[in-house]
Structure 1
Amino acid sequence: MTRTPLRPLARVIAARQSGQNPDMIERENLRLRHEAQRDKLRFRAEGRLFVLGVCFFCAFVVIGARMGHLAASVPAEPSSGGVAELISASRADIVDRQGRVLATNLSTHSLYAQPPLMVEKERAAEELARIFPDLDAERLKRDFTGSRKFVWVKKKISPEQMQAVHDIGEPGLLFGPREMRLYPNGKLAAHILGGASFGREGVHSAEVVGVAGVEKQFDALLRDPARAGKPLELTIDLTVQAVTEEVLNGGMKLMNAKGASAVLMDVHSGEIVAMASLPDYDPNNRPRPLTSGDQSDSPLFNRSVQGVYELGSTFKIFAAAQAMELGLVNPETMINTKGPLTWGKHRIRDFHNYGNELSVTKVIVKSSNIGTARVAMDIGAKRQQEFLGALGFFEPTPVEMVEAPTGKPLLPPNWSEISTMTISYGHGLSASPLHLATAYASLLNGGTRVYPTLLKQEERKVGPRIVSERTSERARVMLRKVVTEGTASFGEVEGYAVAGKTGTADKPKPRGGYYKDKVISTFATVFPAHDPKYVLVVSLDEPVELSGPEPRRTAGWTTVPVTAEMIRRIAPLLGLRPSVEPGAEAEVIQASN
């Protein structure tokens, strides 16, 4: 930049020659220089003010636009970006086949303490022990007065308990919102539902996870947010389940049994309408598993699915049906029942002496071990194994429960000829009541295999054929005669044509051998016999009927009356009307004119 001198020599000389004051030139130049500097600074300041004004304008525009957007949007609670955001507490409901709630979620609170914030720690511990009797006041005092900065007090509390804690007035006692799993029907269908507990936990939320039953089997499905809370629909009917458990509980007590189970299944679809195991528990307060001893003594043990037992004479119909299907016999074929039947050191006897021979039908009606064993010998071990395998007796049931794989049948290590004979009448092979119900449904529904399920089916699936329709019908006729003429006479329910087979098996000892005075009694039924709709299998563990002069333990005296009462109660609930059995002779009265 060119800088103008304050005292230019040419102008000074010219001013002196003309008689002017040269100092005036310097003052004028100094003034002009100051004015130029002032104009430059003013221009710079005006530019800065303009830029600052533009920035303020843009900021106000952005803030105004955001305020307008917030005013026009739906209000919502802000969410934190911490770890608790990863914990999903949502879980879908479980409902029965009619849409009635079996399991749902309930909003509640947890209670925790922050000892550094507490004022009267010992008083707070005593008050909490008074509100929650299961808490130990001394332990709470140690936790509160120690070095801990966080203490879980209760994972879930009721509104009344929450108010009582509020009334303590302790600032270090805090609450966290969460959801808990609620079973509004208490013990009803406990073994099917299983139960739920808390997984990952935070102060402001907790993950609800299944621990048993369908809750654990479908845990991922129930917690899937993509399903938008769509409930899981089961096959069981809440009303039928309630009646089944009520009658079974009464029968267990009346027959002085240690435990009991019942399975009610649709013979065509395999849908389980009711399934019970006693003793049971409340899934809202699930007990701890046994850490020692016999697990079957625990109320958590599901006898219908996990319990594998020798099911006795209920197996005899399988031998008769297979022999008829193979063309080896027909219902009237005479079988040698002269006993005892000897194989090596083993002797097979009947409960009563039935004479030298019985027809195949009478072998089933009278429940002859000898007759059934001779039929099985004609069938042979290999064909017997193939038939029982086709009915599902070699694998755990595929029912949708995490406990199902533990109910694997117990098979003989060496399937010898004696095994073939004893298994034909239900000894030497142990299976669950659900196995038996599935096999009866497959055999008696017309002869097609069904698979047990707890999920309601939109379409009925037809499985592979097990026996012909003719064989299936003949088997139902035989089982019907067991009720009308044989060992299950107490099982008759007027109007419902009950058909079934009793089974009484000695209970094995844990270390080998059998008890002389302990049995598993079972009654497997199908009704109505002429148009089968449902299969019902009821078992009692160590029953004894004491109304007579001597204790009676056979299924005909113990399990059969309980099953009959159950059918009498549940058949109307299933929509079955009493009807006249086809082929029944009607009384004809001739009136004179």
Structure 2
Amino acid sequence: MIRTPLRPLARILDARARGQNPDTIEAANLAARHEEMKDRARLQAERRLRFLALGFIVAFSVIALRMGTLAATEPSELGTTSSGSEITAQRADILDRKGRILATNMMTHSLYVQTADLVDPARTASELARIFPDLDAETMLRRFTDGRSFLWVKKVLSPEQMQEVHEIGDPGLYFGPREMRLYPNGHLAAHILGGSAFGNEGVDSAEVIGTAGIEKALDTRLRDPAQSNTPLQLSIDLTLQANVEEVLGTAMKTLNAKGAAAILMDTHTGEILALASLPDFDPNDRPAPALTGDPSESPLFNRSVQGVYELGSTFKIFAVAQAMDLGLINENTEIDTKQPFVYDGFRINEFDNHNYGPTLPAWEVIAVSSNIGSAHLGLMIGGERQQAFLRTLGLLDPPKVELAEAPGARALVPKNWSGIVTVTASYGHGISTSLMNLAAAYATLGNGGLKITPTLIHSDTHTPGPRVVSEDTALAAVRMMRKVVTDGTATFADVPGYGVAGKTGTAEKPKKNGKGYDADKVINTFASVFPADNPKYVLIVTLDEPVETAGSKPRRTAGYTAVPVAGEIIRRIGPLVGLRPDGENPMGTLVAYKDPVAQE
């Protein structure tokens, strides 16, 4: 920039020549210079103001844009877990065979505290203790003020509780959305479903994992994101399940039993239509496992699957069926039943010391439930073949069904299958197995001799199992079991029109010290198939330590306890499964045997 001189020489000389004051020239030039400097300063200030205004506009635009973005998105909070894989909350629904919901998901909220944001910790702790009686105000206040920044208050809130917490108004209380598992039918089918709990947790989601039953056994499938919209359809029928549980519960109370169980199974597919174990629980509020006492007395214990019992005379039909299949006997072969019968120093007795004479035909050994006759059949077969046959039926292995508890239900089998084991196993003592295994074995006889593997999964296609016994043997076994109901130990299960066939079993429970059996404590079982002319269903009913007191003296046999219960179940469910009561169909030409229900 070229500055204009204040006293230019040419103008000064010219002014002097004309007699003017040259100082006025300097004053005018100085004033012009000041004006020029003011203009430049004003322009510079205007430029700065423009830049500052532009900066404010940009900053406030960014803030407004961010606020708009936050307002348009779902709120989120900091998680409690370290960064990692995303928590998958969605879990597939579980349905019964007719599409009715057994387990589903429900949106709810959790409650947690960011202690730095609490305004009045003492009041907040007091109000939370009022809303949640299981919480202690002093304990919460101590946790609010002990230096931690985050803590859970409740993992699941009801809408009413959430509203009450809202009304506390403390900004340190936060809600996190999450899915929880809901079982809309409460106790119904509790041991099948099992239950669930939260696994990995964040404040805005929680992973639901199975803890028991089918929820745990098929946890991977239920948690698979690719199948979250595809429900798992079970084989059970909710209506049949409700009826079975109702009858079983009434019987358990009436007969003063410690527990009860029942299994209803399709003889051709192995699909389980109902499975009950009492006492039970509500999977929405699954109790904690008992740390003391007998685990089998807990409501969490699934007697249908986890319980392994000596099932008594229900095993006798297997001895007869195997002997017939080996060609050793037929239905009318006379079997030795004379007393006394002592084997290897052990005396084999009949129930209530009955004496059935020197011999009985094979079908009558089953009808009157002769221990001695069954023992002789076992000896005819031999221990090695007997053990192999029972294992082929699946009776000596853990039950193969889709429940988390099944693999642990190992059959109790003697290491040395001696002669006396062969004798006692023929009438269901000395070995213990699961009711689920018993149901599958009876289904094998009921469907004509093809092995059945039980399942809780509904399917439209089923592959037949390998043949275990011939069709003729299986039909003969069912005919014999029909005689048990019409003329033997199970007459109270003779439901008119449905042709029930089955076998009773009254097994004394081993004493806790392992020395002998307790005659006053029994496991009573009735294993049945129906209709007898073409068995479609297997029903197993078991009662733990029942006592029937309607008569002059207490009665503990299956004929007076488990059998009437099974009869009532069949009477109720027969129409529900589409069976029309018909006249009796011929079941063979066996000679009738008449005797009151007294034997086991």
Q: TM-score range by the shorter chain?
A: 0.7 to 0.9
Structure 2: how far apart are the matches of 1:202 and 1:557? 56
Match of 1:539 in 2: 542
Moved more, 473-482 or 392-401: 392-401
Match of 2:573 in 1: 570
Q: 1:35-80, CA deviations, whole angstroms, 9 ceiling, x for partnerless residues?
A: xxxxxxxxxxxxxxxxxxxxxxxxxxxxxxxx9xxx9xxx986999
The one of 435, 445, 460 equivalent to 2:447 is 445
Mapping of residues 180-329 of structure 1, within 5 Å: 180-329=180-329
Deviation at 1:584, TM superposition (A): 8.6
Structure 1: how far apart are the matches of 2:77 and 2:121? 31
Match of 2:481 in 1: 479
Contact map agreement 1:340 1:370 (CA 8 A) in 2? no
Corresponding position: 1:115 with 2:118:
no
Match of 2:95 in 1: 95
Match of 2:137 in 1: 137
Structure 1: how far apart are the matches of 2:228 and 2:525? 44
Aligned to 1:220, the other structure's residue is in SS state: helix
Structure 2: how far apart are the matches of 1:339 and 1:128? 75
Aligned to 1:86, the other structure's residue is in SS state: coil
Deviation at 1:510, TM superposition (A): 2.6
Deviation at 1:136, TM superposition (A): 2.1
% identical aligned pairs: 62
Structure 1: how far apart are the matches of 2:73 and 2:570? 55
Deviation at 1:414, TM superposition (A): 1.0
Structure 1: how far apart are the matches of 2:538 and 2:99? 23
Moved more, 315-324 or 507-516: 507-516
Q: 1:99-127, CA deviations, whole angstroms, 9 ceiling, x for partnerless residues?
A: 11000000000011122211222222222
The one of 498, 501, 518 equivalent to 1:496 is 498
Contact map agreement 1:125 1:137 (CA 8 A) in 2? yes
Code of the aligned partner of 1:370: I
Structure 2: how far apart are the matches of 1:444 and 1:584? 13
Match of 2:24 in 1: none
Contact map agreement 2:196 2:209 (CA 8 A) in 1? yes
Match of 1:400 in 2: 402
Deviation at 1:570, TM superposition (A): 1.1
Structure 2 unaligned segments of length 5 or more: list them.
1-64, 589-600
Deviation at 1:228, TM superposition (A): 4.5
Contact map agreement 2:258 2:546 (CA 8 A) in 1? yes
Contact map agreement 1:93 1:231 (CA 8 A) in 2? yes
Aligned to 1:109, the other structure's residue is in SS state: strand
Deviation at 1:526, TM superposition (A): 0.2
Structure 1: how far apart are the matches of 2:126 and 2:484? 66
Moved more, 134-143 or 308-317: 134-143
Aligned to 2:154, the other structure's residue is in SS state: strand
Structure 1: how far apart are the matches of 2:175 and 2:106? 16
Code of the aligned partner of 1:144: F
Structure 2: how far apart are the matches of 1:115 and 1:294? 44
Code of the aligned partner of 2:437: H
Structure 2: how far apart are the matches of 1:182 and 1:199? 16
Match of 1:520 in 2: 523
Corresponding position: 1:430 with 2:432:
yes
Moved more, 306-315 or 501-510: 501-510
Deviation at 1:344, TM superposition (A): 2.6
Code of the aligned partner of 2:313: S
Structure 2: how far apart are the matches of 1:169 and 1:340? 85
Contact map agreement 1:343 1:418 (CA 8 A) in 2? yes
Q: 1:126-177, CA deviations, whole angstroms, 9 ceiling, x for partnerless residues?
A: 2212211222222112212322211111100011110011111221111100
The one of 353, 356, 363 equivalent to 1:354 is 356
Code of the aligned partner of 1:505: A
Code of the aligned partner of 1:385: Q
Deviation at 1:577, TM superposition (A): 1.2
Contact map agreement 2:335 2:373 (CA 8 A) in 1? yes
Aligned to 1:441, the other structure's residue is in SS state: helix
Structure 1 unaligned segments of length 5 or more: list them.
1-66, 586-593
Match of 2:161 in 1: 161
Code of the aligned partner of 1:339: Q
Mapping of residues 42-121 of structure 1, within 5 Å: 83=83, 86-121=86-121
Aligned to 2:555, the other structure's residue is in SS state: coil
TM-score by length of 2: 0.83
Structure 1: how far apart are the matches of 2:520 and 2:438? 24
Match of 1:368 in 2: 370
Aligned to 2:324, the other structure's residue is in SS state: helix
Contact map agreement 1:113 1:173 (CA 8 A) in 2? yes
Structure 2: how far apart are the matches of 1:189 and 1:517? 31
Code of the aligned partner of 1:281: F
Match of 1:580 in 2: 583
Code of the aligned partner of 1:537: I
Mapping of residues 326-341 of structure 1, within 5 Å: 326-341=326-341
Contact map agreement 1:84 1:202 (CA 8 A) in 2? no
Deviation at 1:250, TM superposition (A): 0.6
Q: 1:160-202, CA deviations, whole angstroms, 9 ceiling, x for partnerless residues?
A: 1100111112211111000000000001111111111000111
Code of the aligned partner of 2:137: A
Code of the aligned partner of 2:539: L
Code of the aligned partner of 1:168: I
Structure 2 vs 1, CA of residues 182 and 328 (structure 1 numbering), >3 Å: closer, same or farther? same
Deviation at 1:458, TM superposition (A): 2.2
Structure 2: how far apart are the matches of 1:377 and 1:167? 78
Contact map agreement 2:77 2:204 (CA 8 A) in 1? no
Code of the aligned partner of 1:447: G
Structure 1: how far apart are the matches of 2:582 and 2:133? 57
Structure 2: how far apart are the matches of 1:170 and 1:232? 43
Structure 2: how far apart are the matches of 1:307 and 1:394? 14
Deviation at 1:253, TM superposition (A): 0.7
Structure 2: how far apart are the matches of 1:76 and 1:132? 32
Contact map agreement 2:91 2:228 (CA 8 A) in 1? no
Query: Alignment length, in residue pairs?
Result: 516
Structure 2: how far apart are the matches of 1:429 and 1:220? 35
Deviation at 1:572, TM superposition (A): 1.1
Contact map agreement 1:84 1:205 (CA 8 A) in 2? no
Aligned to 2:402, the other structure's residue is in SS state: coil
Structure 1: how far apart are the matches of 2:188 and 2:228? 27
Structure 2: how far apart are the matches of 1:339 and 1:349? 8
Match of 2:146 in 1: 146
Deviation at 1:293, TM superposition (A): 2.5
Contact map agreement 2:76 2:204 (CA 8 A) in 1? no
Structure 2: how far apart are the matches of 1:220 and 1:333? 54
Match of 2:28 in 1: none
TM-score by length of 1: 0.84
Structure 1: how far apart are the matches of 2:411 and 2:332? 33
Structure 2 vs 1, CA of residues 480 and 306 (structure 1 numbering), >3 Å: closer, same or farther? same
Structure 1: how far apart are the matches of 2:443 and 2:384? 23
Q: 1:319-365, CA deviations, whole angstroms, 9 ceiling, x for partnerless residues?
A: 00111111111111111111121013210011211111111011000
- Give the root-mean-square deviation of aligned CA atoms: 2.1
Code of the aligned partner of 2:569: M
Structure 1: how far apart are the matches of 2:534 and 2:185? 33
Deviation at 1:509, TM superposition (A): 2.2
Structure 1: how far apart are the matches of 2:88 and 2:153? 22
Code of the aligned partner of 1:283: P
Structure 2: how far apart are the matches of 1:148 and 1:551? 64
